[in-house]
């Protein structure tokens, strides 16, 4: 059972990465702004801000994963309703 859960998590992670990689233009645009802001900070502050950004990215990833899973559940629920009509 654990193996199936890990496989499912890997599939979900791969799909989220695929969808997010399609936003390449937006990433490049924001990366430039991020670098401009960070380059103005002192090293000690910059390290703290980078850690905060990493945490925010992780939280956002977890939110994406939750939304993706909810979408799958909704799709299954809708398919069941369609097939029972």
Q: What is the pLDDT of residues 29-75, one digit of tens each?
A: 778 888 888 899 999 999 999 999 999 989 998 898 889 888 888 98
**How many domains are there within the chain?**
1
Pair of tokens at residue 54: 């990493």
Q: Residue 40 burial (CB < 10 Å; 0-12/13-18/19+)?
A: exposed
Helix ranges restricted to H, the chain = 2-21, 24-39, 43-84
Residue % of the chain over a pLDDT of 90:
26
Q: Using one digit for the tens of pLDDT, what is the confidence trace for 55-65?
A: 998 999 889 88
pLDDT in tens, 8-31: 788 888 888 888 787 777 777 778
Tell me the Cα Rg of the chain: 19
Question: Domain containing 9: what range?
Answer: 2-84
pTM of the model as a whole: 0.64
Cα separations (Å) of 2 from 9, 14, 19, 65? 10, 18, 26, 18
State the Cα–Cα distance between residues 76 and 41, nearest whole angstrom: 48
């Amino acid at each position: 059972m654990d193996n199936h859960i890990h496989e499912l998590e890997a599939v979900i992670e791969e799909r989220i990465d695929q969808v997010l990689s399609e936003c390449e233009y937006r990433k490049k645009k924001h990366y430039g702004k991020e670098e401009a802001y960070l380059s103005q900070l002192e090293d000690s502050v910059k390290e703290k801000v980078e850690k905060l950004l990493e945490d925010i990215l992780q939280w956002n990833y977890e939110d994406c994963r939750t939304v993706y899973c909810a979408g799958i559940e909704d799709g299954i629920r809708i398919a069941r309703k369609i097939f029972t009509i």
